[in-house]
């Protein structure tokens, strides 16, 4: 099997805390500039919500693991 390679493309790292996600998506122009694309407002909103949903899941898993 061929080793995994990083392909060229757009990407950004955002930690899964709510404050980091909120800060990253504060201005639509900012996320477009970071990703070097032009996303519509609705796509940005969906993207933000998906990250927030994942943050909630990660937070719940952490709480469950520590119990």
Residue 55 covered by a domain = yes
User: Distance between CA atoms of 59 and 1, rounded to whole angstroms?
Assistant: 35
Q: Flag whether the pTM goes above 0.85.
A: no
The answer to the question of residue 11 being in a domain is no
The domain tally of the chain equals 1
The answer for residues whose C-beta is within 8 angstroms of residue 14's C-beta and 6 or more apart is 20, 21, 24, 51
For residue 29, being part of any structural domain is answered with no
Is 20 a domain residue? no
Which tens digit of pLDDT belongs to each residue from 33-61?
888 889 999 999 998 999 888 876 666 55
Nearest CA-CA partner of 22 in 41, 60, 48: 48
Whether residue 26 lies inside any domain: the answer is no
> Residue 10 falls within a domain, yes or no?
no
Residue 28 lies in a domain: no
The mean per-residue pLDDT over the stretch 15-33 comes to 85
Q: Which domain holds residue 45?
A: 41-67
User: Mean pLDDT in the chain?
Assistant: 76
């Amino acid at each position: 099997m061929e080793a995994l390679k990083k392909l060229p493309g757009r990407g950004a790292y955002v930690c899964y805390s709510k404050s980091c996600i909120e800060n990253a998506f504060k201005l639509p122009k900012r996320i477009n500039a970071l990703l070097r694309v032009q996303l519509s407002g609705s796509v940005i909103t969906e993207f933000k919500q998906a990250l927030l949903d994942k943050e909630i899941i990660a937070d719940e898993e952490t709480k469950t693991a520590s119990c």
